[in-house]
Structures are given as C-alpha cells and as structure tokens.
A and B are shown apart, each in its own frame.
Chain A
Amino acid sequence: MSKAMTVALGVLLLLLIAFPFLVNAYTVQVAITTITYSMLGMAFAFTLRVGLPRFDIPAWWGVGAYTTALLMKAGMSFWLTALIGGMIAIVLGALVFSLAIPRGMIPFLMIGMVLTMAFYQVYGAVPIFGGWGGIVGVPAPTIGSFEFIAKRDLYYMGLFFLGLNLAVYYFLFNSKIGRAWNAIGSSLRLARSVGIDVVKYRMANVLIGNFFLALAGSFFVGYYRAALPVVFGFQAALFVMIYLIIGGFTHSLTGPILGAIIATFIPEYFRFAKEYQSIVTSVVVILILMFLPLGILGWVDLRIKPWLYRRKWYARLSRWGVKEERKVSA
C-alpha cells in the first residue's frame, strides 16, 4: 500500500469518527440507516461473487432482528442475542441451503424468493412474533451500565459492526477461500476443472453472509427498538440491489457502501417532495442501468482513473512512499 493510500484511509477514518460532531442529530440518524443498508448490500455483493444472486436477504435480516427483539424483551444482553441470531441464521441457512445450493443458481434464487415471502408471512401471522404490529418497546443495548440511546453512540456501534463486517469480508477475499470464490464467480466449469468443490465453497460463502445479515438485523433492532414485519418484506430484497447498481457491481465492498450512502442521503434532501421521491430514485436507477451499467465506481475505473493517471501530479502522488518501485529503478 502506498503512503498516499494510507494517509487517505487515515483521513477517511478520522472524518468518520468526527462525523457526528460535525452534523446535526438527524443526519446522524440517516447515517445509521445507511450503515444497516450498506451491510445488506455488502452481503448481496458477497454472495454475488460466487455467482448466486440473493433474494432472501430480508429473511435472514429478519431472523437477526426478531431474535434480538424477542430475547432482549426476555432480559438477555444485546451482544449475546446478536450472536445467537447469527447462529440461528447459520443453522437454518445450513438446513435450507444444503438442499438448494447443489441444484444451481435458479433454484437458489427461487428458494430465496420463497424464503422472503414465507418469513414475512410467518412474522406477520404467527402470534409469538407479535403479528403485523410487530414487537415494540425493545430495551436499548447496554455495555455494563452504559446505554446506547444517544444517536452518536448508536452511530459508533454501527461503525463498529460495519468495520467488523468489512474487515472479515476483506480478509476472506484476500485469502485462499476468496480466490476459490473468484474462480467460481468467473466460471463454474473452470472452477470445477481445477478441483474446487463448488457446493462447499458456495455454502461457506452463503452462511457467512447469513451471519452478517443477522448481525445487521440485530443492529437494526438495537437502534430502531422494534421489529416490524413490513420492514422485512419482498421490497427490501429488491432495494438492496439498487445500492449495488448505483455503487457498482464490480466493487464488492465499496460499491454497496457508496450506493447506500447515495440512495439514502440524496432522497433525504428531497423530503419536501416525498411523493415524488421513489419516482425520482427509480428513474435515476433506470438511467444508471442504461448508461452506466457498471455503476459509479465502474465508471470511475473506466473514465476517471485513466484521466488521472495521465496527470503528472497524480502519478507522483500515487508513487509516494512505494519502496519496491525505487529498487527496480535503481
């Protein structure tokens, strides 16, 4: 990593930490929502790497949320419920997907849709889950005697979850298992021919995704303090993909985050025209699909970066602090 990159990341991190002190409480609230949605988008992109599109994101998100809501109402600690929610998502996922994944992409996609619809119906119609009114009045998450109630504290908690999620995904992508996933994503036949057990690797990917989806659900309940079936409907499965389109399919980590930031913050500025919000969003997404099929980051890769590389100051900046290159020249 070049020195410029390290400095840029450091500045970004400082900005993220200082963010709640620079803006009003409402913007922090929007940022918290953005964090949840970026986690969902990342899970979609994560599994898309092995060539499986997920339509079951709201289902597992809901598993985490309802586990946390139910157990916290019974007096359990937030952090424990988050872990239990993740475990439940993994176990249930293993049961369902051990039958679905060996059958290929289309059955996986359809089972995903069925799961989303079925979980939504179960949350709404089964009395333990509070019916269509959902579970409300969930206590705030705590560490010792410290309560996460202020928006700022919740923002830091979200940042912690997002950081954890990013770190795990980044580590996995750059490990041996990540290379196998890339092989599966680029060509299934090729991956099989070099002896990669496609089903096993896909299973691992989907279950890790499940865990983080449940974690996102727990965090959602942590700040929303309620779990409502409406949130986990079929629409959510479609919305997740919007973030990825805006950000860019090719960037599994940064794409969904950028997309979630754009798709959450910009509509907030159009609050005065709330009725037209979703129309504008939809039109923008259609235009992006028509004219920038790789999303914003893909467009940056394609158009902006080559332009920047031709500038002398950028070349000097990007070489700053890279030692290996000097050795080669010397």
Chain B
Amino acid sequence: MTITFTLNGQPVEVDTAADRRVVDLLREDLGLTGAKEGCGSGDCGACTILVDGESRLSCLMLAAQLEGRTITTIEGVASENLHTIQAAFVEHGAVQCGFCTPGMVLAAMDLLHRNPHPTSHEIRQALSGNLCRCTGYQKIVDAVHAAARSCDLREGK
C-alpha cells in the first residue's frame, strides 16, 4: 500500500503494509528512532508523535491511518535552534536517561498549544500519559513552566 503524508514538514510517500505499526514505520523504515517503544500497549507514552498537531501513540496507530495526515516526530521539532521546550528541558535538568524525553517534549508541545499558561497541576495531568522512571517528573514540570514563560516573554507579555 502506498501512503502519502507530511512528515516533519516534508511530503513523504511510503510503500508499506497497511497494518504496519507507525512506530515501526518511523524507526525501522524511515530511520527516525526518536520515537521509542517502551511498552507497545499505549501505557508509557514513549512512542508519542504529533498527528495534525495532536499527541498520539504511534505504537497504537497503523500505517494506513497516516494517509493525508501531518506528522511531527521529535526530529522535526528543532529547526536551526532548539525549540523553546527542548531548550527548557536542557536547562532545567529535565533529561536523565533520555528515553522518555522525545515523548515528553511532544506531549508538552501539545499542552502548550492548547493551554499556553498551564498550572503545575495542569502540566502534570497533560504529561500523565508519559511515564518517566528517572526524574520523578519535577524538573520536567519546571521545564514546561519555564518554556511557557519563555513563550510569554517572546510574545512581549
């Protein structure tokens, strides 16, 4: 099956089995190993990608569903410089082993698009689908706060 979609801003055409898991398509066929598989059952969020701007779990998506969609993986987040959220993660110590990090960054992007000024509780709820075993979440929450403030500053608030 031929599937056409937009991936990290570029049009892409792949020839693949319709039932290939998107996480496998990304990692094995397209060499984009940023999305990780931590459980394969939708419980950990390590495979998070953005589909038409919304966070979804690529381990529970099939290739056929990509048709016509706009997909963002972690590899498409930074441009010449780190995205504000990525920079905040680095600065605030939100990265330890790093395996949950791509999913966390994308979940945070989804949050800040919907809610540019989240409270700590709202941040934690928004990230509740992304498990982290290293950080205890606190510095990730701090980083998202900082990123939200950064966006404010850039917008002159």
A and B: bona fide binding partners = no
Chain B residues engaging chain A, CB cutoff 8 angstroms: none
Chain A residues engaging chain B, CB cutoff 8 angstroms: none
